[in-house]
Amino acid sequence: MKALILRAAGTNCDLETAHAFERVGMTAERRHVNELLAEPTMLQSYRVLAIPGGFSYGDDVAAGRVLATELRERVVPQARKLVEDGGLILGICNGFQVLVKTGLLPGLTEQDVTLTHNASHRYIDKWVELEVDGKCAFLTKGESFYFPIAHAEGKLVADEATLDRLERDGMVALRYRDNPNGSLRSIAGLTDATGRILGLMPHPERHMEPWHHPTWTRDGLSDLPDGLRFFQQAVAAVS
């Protein structure tokens, strides 16, 4: 099984994301967005499309906006087909921003939510506790994760009617226990109606080893780091 790790100018977590998929037994191939734009059908030879974190195109217009615009017309139809065929799409941090701005998440209309400046108006870099909600294919409702965040535009906003619908339809995949950025209803990640597209602001690829945990020296090494568990469940969902 192969995962396509998409990169563009400013992407800076592609190597870590590729490593995470390789740790759980997948073949990870890093490809520049121009390759995918030239041949969108190549996506059908993969089981996972992952859009990693970073600052694609410097977030000059808005976080993820330029890359989302590139993907919308040519790649999004192939991405939808990937999901229809049982594949997965994962967007982490900047990748989550891209997914919401293409309309792939939450997938109600062209763009239903956005991710904007943190309530503090500052860049945040810290570890956060997360709870799983919703019906995502590679998460189990009720489980928890501990991942780092690193973003300036991670506050999820939408109108009340959209938020109510996301809640009702089980599209809220992850919530912060201690909301660090002011996201409405503490939303840290969303899934679509199929449960096979997931976007989240925290970075699971940064908790793949026991010693990545910030308190491992006093609490001991975990047998199964949260990031490794996260990616194992992703592989199980496409096996």
**Percentage of the chain exceeding pLDDT 90:** 94
pLDDT at 109 over 80: no
Q: What is the pLDDT of residues 29-57, one digit of tens each?
A: 999 999 999 999 999 999 999 999 999 99
> Is the pLDDT higher at 125 or at 109?
125
Q: What residues are annotated to the active site?
A: 93, 203, 205
Residue 239's pLDDT is what? 85
Residue 128's pLDDT is what? 98
Residue 101's pLDDT is what? 96
**Percentage of the chain exceeding pLDDT 70:** 100
Q: What is the pLDDT of residues 2-13, one digit of tens each?
A: 999 999 999 999
Residue 61's pLDDT is what? 86
Q: Residue 226 in contact with residue 172, Cβ under 8 Å?
A: no
pLDDT at 138 over 90: no
Which helix (H) or strand (E) is 188 found in, with range?
A: strand 187-191
Which helix (H) or strand (E) is 18 found in, with range?
A: helix 14-23
Provide mean pLDDT across the span 94-106: 97
Backbone angles phi, psi at 174, to 5 degrees: -140, 145
Residue 135's pLDDT is what? 86
Q: All domains of the chain, ordered by start, with CATH?
A: 2-238 (3.40.50.880)
d(CA 180, CA 23): 29
Q: Which residue has the tokens 């906006």?
A: 65
- Length of the chain equals 239
pLDDT at 119 over 90: yes
> Where do the H-state alpha helices sit in 134-225?
160-168, 216-219
Q: How confident is the model at residue 126 (pLDDT cuts 50, 70, 90)?
A: very high
pLDDT at 175 over 80: yes
Please provide the average confidence, as pLDDT, over all residues in the chain: 96
Q: What is the pLDDT of residues 58-72, one digit of tens each?
A: 998 899 999 999 999
d(CA 132, CA 142): 5
Residue 49's pLDDT is what? 98
Q: What is the pLDDT of residues 212-228, one digit of tens each?
A: 999 999 999 999 999 99
d(CA 7, CA 98): 12
